[in-house]
């Protein structure tokens, strides 16, 4: 893969390419190192091979506040296995030369702060990540993160919740880089039966104040949901539905390669909703 300057970013490039092709974007989420680092690396390569736009890699954290029980359980299992932050960076760095897919680190500010904001963002850039999502830091306090991310040529994706007041949502949309993350449903992450009726209106309000793409996450669990989201937004983010299937396959005693193949096939099926 070609080296990039700080003005180039795969998030921008891949979202623009999807839009130019008349497609939505699919952004699957993986808990990094769950069930092991080799599986995460293989999924990154398999997802890239079917044209996935970007992948969110969750950095396991013991006190996550935004994640539902499915993802929290995966965090617990990964940490129980002794996973270290540096190992996630090493994994990303090893797979980056083999793929074009954009990679985003979904990470608690506590982890960033513990390592040091400048150190964390520099290590992320060196490892081949293209952006950060730090869901537990208010945008009023995110200036240092935004500056450090920008210094590495990365993107700082910010979240807009359903309960966010309109003026605050507009300001978040203006400050977010790469894309704006519109949370579809109230509460924590997890699968839901249907998407909110007001989702289209919320996405339109963000587009009215920012030219950045808007991607929607929380509660999206199947190809039909992906298709519905991409009718009103630029991309769909799927997390708990993927992680739940990993856990179910592991708990059923499936062989490791069967687990990997099952998840790769599920994400390939989700991608049918973006075309």
4 pLDDT above the threshold of 50: yes
Q: Are the beta carbons of 66 and 39 closer than 8 angstroms? A: no
Which of the two residues, 215 and 68, has the higher pLDDT score?
215
pLDDT in tens, 240-253: 999 999 999 999 99
Q: pLDDT-based confidence at 221, cuts 50/70/90?
A: confident
Q: Residue 216 has what pLDDT?
A: 95
Candidate list 42, 48, 67, 130, residue with the active-site label: 67
193 pLDDT above the threshold of 70: no
Q: Residue 68 has what pLDDT?
A: 79
Determine how β-strand 131-133 pairs with β-strand 25-31: unpaired
Quick check: is 67 catalytic? yes
Residues 6+ apart with CB under 8 A from 165: none
Candidate list 42, 48, 56, 234, residue with the active-site label: 56
pLDDT in tens, 15-38: 999 999 999 999 999 999 999 999
Q: Which CATH superfamily is domain 10-270 in?
A: Aldolase class I (3.20.20.70)
**3-state SS, one letter per residue, for 151-171:** HCCCEEEEEECCCCCHHHHHH
Which pTM value belongs to this model? 0.93
Quick check: is 56 catalytic? yes
pLDDT in tens, 77-125: 999 999 999 999 999 999 999 999 999 999 999 999 999 999 999 999 9
What's 198's DSSP letter?
A: T
């Amino acid at each position: 893969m070609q080296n990039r300057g700080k003005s180039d970013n795969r998030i921008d490039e891949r979202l623009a390419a999807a839009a130019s092709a008349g497609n939505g974007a699919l952004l699957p989420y993986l808990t990094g190192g769950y069930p092991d680092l080799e599986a995460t690396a293989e999924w990154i390569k398999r997802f890239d091979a079917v044209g996935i736009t970007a992948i969110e890699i969750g950095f396991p954290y013991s006190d996550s506040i935004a994640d539902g029980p499915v993802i929290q359980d995966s965090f617990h299992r990964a940490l129980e296995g002794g996973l270290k932050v540096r190992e996630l960076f090493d994994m990303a760095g090893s797979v980056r030369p083999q793929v074009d897919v954009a990679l985003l680190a979904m990470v608690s500010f506590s982890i960033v702060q513990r390592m040091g904001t400048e150190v964390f963002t520099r290590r992320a850039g060196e490892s081949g990540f293209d952006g950060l999502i730090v869901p537990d830091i208010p945008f009023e306090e995110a200036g240092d993160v935004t500056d450090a991310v920008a210094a590495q040529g990365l993107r700082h994706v910010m979240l807009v919740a359903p309960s966010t007041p309109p003026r605050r949502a507009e300001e978040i949309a203006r400050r977010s880089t790469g894309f704006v993350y519109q949370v579809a449903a109230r509460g924590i992450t997890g699968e839901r039966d249907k998407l909110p009726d007001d989702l289209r209106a919320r996405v339109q309000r963000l587009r009215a104040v920012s030219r950045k793409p808007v991607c929607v996450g929380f509660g999206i669990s199947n190809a039909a949901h992906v298709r519905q989201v991409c009718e009103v937004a630029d991309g769909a983010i799927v997390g708990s539905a993927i992680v739940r299937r990993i856990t179910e396959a592991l708990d059923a005693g499936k062989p490791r390669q069967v687990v990997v193949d099952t998840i790769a096939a599920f994400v390939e099926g989700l991608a049918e909703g973006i075309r």
